[in-house]
Structure 1
Amino acid sequence: MPATLGTVLLLVALLQVKHMFADFYLQTPKMLSGRGVYFHAGRAQHALVHVIGSVIVFVIFGAPWSFILVIVALEWIIHFNIDFAKASYSDKKQLQPNQAAYWRAAGLDQFLHNLTYVGMAWAWVEFVPG
């Protein structure tokens, strides 16, 4: 697919749809519990769900497998660590949904994930021949 403004916007939109499902519909209790521990299998599985969704999106866009494997490996690492940082901070501060700081942490988490998708779209434009 050529990297026109429309295709880049569609790519980002599909990554956003993937994100909505992976973050808000497909999380299991294992993925949600104990997230303040760094080596957490549930968080690794959660990041893997994101990777699977991104693979689907980039396959739809005709990206080569070499690009897909690199971009989703980076996404897994970044997503895993963003989620850990939020969970660790939230646990240390004992944040609850009735506190503004809880929502600031959640908002920053989502903002950083969105920036990841902007970076992934940039990489697609830059490194995938159109």
Structure 2
Amino acid sequence: MAENLYASTNVSQTVDKKLETRKFFNGHYIESINVNSSEHQAVKSFFLEKTQNDNDASNTLTDTMIEIGAMEKVNVMELIDKLRGETIDDIQLTLITMINQNRKQTSILGFSTSRVPNPSVVRNIVE
């Protein structure tokens, strides 16, 4: 049987004895959102209609919409009513914008637009 080369180390192992710190970080990214089943079904039906019955896309958009509603403390049905006349592309742009409002500036989701390079930088790039 081969010996595990990574099992031993000369670096002393420490165990964080602060239970409160571990509890905080263990639950840091786990936050439950209570969703009314009828609202969930209504939002999913809305996205099924907009995505022409694409179940995977509608599930993803439904989860995103419910998460945005929870972050913004807005009723999801009100958001759906405002988006009812929009195309799916416009809805996706709206959702991206709403998500970006709650993100740090360094992790903003991008739009598919081409950036115009700085002319003084372009002259230094060898193709």
TM-score exceeds 0.5: no
Structure with the greater alpha carbon radius of gyration: 2
Scaled by the length of structure 1, what TM-score is found? 0.31
Q: Which has the higher contact order (CA 8 A, sep 6+)?
A: 1
Scaled by the length of structure 2, what TM-score is found? 0.32
